[in-house]
Structure 1
Amino acid sequence: MADTIKWGMIGAGDVTEVKSGPAFKKVPGSDLVAVMRRNEEKVKDYAKRHGIARWYTDAEALIHDEEVNAIYIATPPASHCAYCLMALRAGKAVYVEKPMTLHSVEAQELANEVRQRNGKLVVAHYRREQPYFKKIKELLQAGEIGKPRVATLQLFKQALRTQEMADPKMQWRLDETQSGGGLFHDLAPHQLDLMIHFFGTPRKSHGMATNQAKQYAADDLVSGQLLFDHGVLFNGVWAFATHEERDRCELIGSAGKLSFSFFSYEPILLERVQGQQRFAFTPLAHVQQPMIEAVVRYFQHQGENPCPIEAGVKVMHLLEDFTRK
């Protein structure tokens, strides 16, 4: 891999405008040199606004751009597997958005390809590298709550309004053929990956899912349980048609408790017999920048893979275990 990671980005949608796109040019040793979107007018505009040298309307042409040595895939999940395979077979390193694939069969196919080719692929479970969640892992490893026993998660959201349902950016998320399973598949991968990151490999997993509000075809209520190798029991509930908004996770141990949020970044609360401590963090300008820094180091052979494909496969299996798909 060359000293500078020269990125080609497939998919120039709204999610890349602030969360990820600008970070590729801000990270040392990294540059975003090409972008692809099927709509020519929109991709030309994106490239101009972000100072990107070249634009394409064909993904294969971008992948075979000789200057590009790494591919960022930011399309809906239905095309992730095909684009990843194409990039790996072209000898390019890959950074792919979550959920990694449409379903676990594709995930395993992709894992086999990475292994056979000794390729480099990172899954964009980017919260792993954010200071907020690194602090939680640090507190766990330091034994601040003793031995972890139970993890509980509640993510509640109000039902979508008519205007939100009509937004194309929402419509693909609610289409199981494009996203794999509605808002649960869009949001839960971040949370489930962090549980794996904190507690290791789940030994058992099961769940239930149903469609309560009947606003769209995908399930809007999901519950799931995990039992990890070291005995930690996880219980999660995701409800997308409730009267209130809630984003809360608690990690309860033999000597204390950690409380935090996944998406609203409320201060981390550590509660022990000795008292309470709060840990607040300044919001990041580009939420993926710490992960992109770690990915660049990995691609340059200067660090480990911050989220290997095996973790992505585990998450895909958990999504299906919880929804019985």
Structure 2
Amino acid sequence: MSEIKWGIIGCGDVTEVKSGPAFNKAPNSSLVAVMRRNAAKAEDYAKRHQVPRWYSDADQLINDPEVNAIYIATPPLQHEEFTIKALAAGKPVYVEKPMALNSEAAKRMVAAAHQYGVKLSVAHYRREQPLFLKIKTLLEEKAIGDIRFVNLQMLQPQQSDLIARSEENWRTNPEIAGGGLFHDLAPHQLDLMGYYFGEIEKFDGMALNQTGQNQVDDLVTGHILFKNGVVFNGTWCFTVAEEDQIDHCEIYGSKGKISFPMFGHQIKVFVDGTEERLDFLPLMHVEQPMIEKVVAYFLNEGKNPCSGEEAVKTMELLDGFTR
């Protein structure tokens, strides 16, 4: 196999700009088929993005002989089913976050990848973005000394611009999303913590539905002790006043701190009373760096940028904080 020829299951809003076009821009990669239950919308997507074929049935796309890799971008409810079907068909899978409805479903997906001997990657794509790679380098170089603890706050009003829009508000339906907006946004943040600080010693959390406006938690707190002694504290609330919204993460070390947003383009490094600001250009397609790494992995030219096993650990945190 010299080229990855992708099929997308679930060519909805998230694939319009964030990911879809990147499959044709990554080296040795092309998008050859898309699927959506609504046939008219699948056809429209294919025409607008110059995709050769479209389907309204996932099985037809999976069994398309030209498709040799599958990107699953449906709501989390379908991730397990379609991932296992694609793996059983011998086709490697790149699946959106959160990996599944819960950690048990995620473990079954990993087990299927091992059973069929087929590759599986998870779309924790911030790992490969320049801003977050720079933070990893700063930590490895001990730019702020030995790491002590992390404070993260994600406080958003109910109509936050950070939360992806969709025709139906499935992100607040636990049967489809596994949880609420916490399950939509926190996977990226929690995955980065594991990416930066490694194995987890223990964790706990608390979740509340304070407004009662739907069936999901709108306030979550979580705490992690990593095996290297780093402590993480996170707060997510999706019902604060407009003027109180915050997207902020601070990593404290023995010599200073690193401050950055999860949805922004600037890092601030404070050491010895001085502040350094590092600015990054917005990415046209935020998943393109990750997709390029996944393509290389599927072609046996690089390592897995985010394995199913790593993503299971993030799912366990989601479950643990909200149980």
TM-score by length of 1: 0.96
1:168 Cα offset (Å): 4.9
Q: Which amino acid aligns with 1:149?
A: R
Pairwise CA distance, 1:297: 0.5
Q: Does 1:216 align with 2:204?
A: no
Aligned twin of 1:280: 279
> How is 1:146-185 mapped onto 2 (pairs within 5 angstroms)?
146-160=145-159, 168-169=166-167, 171-185=169-183
Shift of 1:55: 0.4
Per-residue CA deviations over 1:176-228 (Å, capped at 9, x if unaligned) read 00000010000000000000000001110100010112221100000000000
Superposed, which structure 2 residues align to 1:44-193 within 5 Å? Answer: 44-160=43-159, 168-169=166-167, 171-193=169-191
What code does the residue aligned with 1:215 have? Answer: Q
In the aligned structure 2, how far is the partner of 1:203 from the partner of 1:7? 38
- Residue identity matched to 1:221: L
Distance 1:186 1:170 in 2: 15
Shift of residue 104 of structure 1?
Answer: 1.1
Task: Please give the alpha-carbon distance, in whole angstroms, between the structure 2 residues aligned to 1:210 and 1:241.
Answer: 12
The equivalent residue for 2:254 is 254
Return the offset for 1:264.
2.6
**Could you tell me which amino acid in structure 2 is paired with residue 225 of structure 1?**
H
Name the amino acid aligned to 1:61: Q
The 3-state SS of whatever aligns with 1:285 is coil
Shift of residue 105, structure 1, vs aligned partner: 1.1
5+ residue gaps, structure 1: none
Alignment of 1:242-321 (within 5 A): 242-243=240-241, 244-265=244-265, 267-273=266-272, 275-321=274-320
Distance 2:320 2:104 in 1: 13
Structure 2: gaps spanning 5 or more residues: none
- C-alpha offsets along residues 218-241 of structure 1, whole Å, 9 cap, x if unaligned? 000000000001000000000000
Distance in 2, matches of 1:106 and 1:3, equals: 32
The reply to whether residue 240 of structure 1 matches residue 238 of structure 2 is yes
SS at match of 1:87: helix
Secondary structure of 1:67's aligned partner? coil
Quote the offset at 1:116 in angstroms: 2.3
Q: Secondary structure at the match of 1:140?
A: helix
Runs of 4+ off more than 3 Å: 167-170
**How far does residue 111 in structure 1 lie from its aligned partner after superposition?**
1.2
In 2, the alpha carbon distance for the partners of 1:39 and 1:114 equals: 29
Which letter maps to 1:178? I
Q: Indicate conservation of the 8 Å contact 2:110/2:120, yes or no.
A: no
> What displacement does 1:149 show?
0.7
Aligned counterparts of 1:55 and 1:116: Cα–Cα separation in 2: 29
User: Counterpart of 1:115 in 2: which secondary structure?
Assistant: helix
**3-state SS in 2 of match to 1:242:** coil
Letter of the 1:86 counterpart: K
How far 1:160 moved relative to its partner? 3.6
Kindly indicate whether the alpha-carbon contact (under 8 Å) linking 2:13 and 2:166 is maintained by their aligned counterparts in 1.
no
How far apart in 2 are the matches of 1:159 and 1:17?
24
Distance 1:86 1:49 in 2: 28
Query: Matched residues in 1 for 2:113 and 2:148: separation?
Result: 35
| In structure 2, distance between residues paired with 1:297 and 1:3 | 10
RMSD of Structure 2 on Structure 1 (CA): 1.4
Check conservation: 2:77, 2:176, Cα contact below 8 A. yes
Cα drift, residue 118 of structure 1: 2.3
Q: 2:249 corresponds to which letter in structure 1?
A: C
State the distance in 2 between where 1:201 and 1:213 align.
35
Q: Deviations over 1:82-140 (max 9, x none)?
A: 00000000000100000000111111111111122222010000000000100000000
2: CA distance between counterparts of 1:192 and 1:306?
16
Indicate which of 197, 200, 207 corresponds to 2:198.
200
Contact persistence 2:121–2:294 (CA under 8 A): yes
1:170, distance to aligned residue in structure 2 (A): 5.4
Counterpart of 1:229 in structure 2 is 227
How far the C-alpha of 1:9 sits from its partner, in A, is: 0.3
**Pair 1:169–1:192, CA change in 2 (3 A):** farther
Greater CA drift, 64-73 or 113-122: 113-122
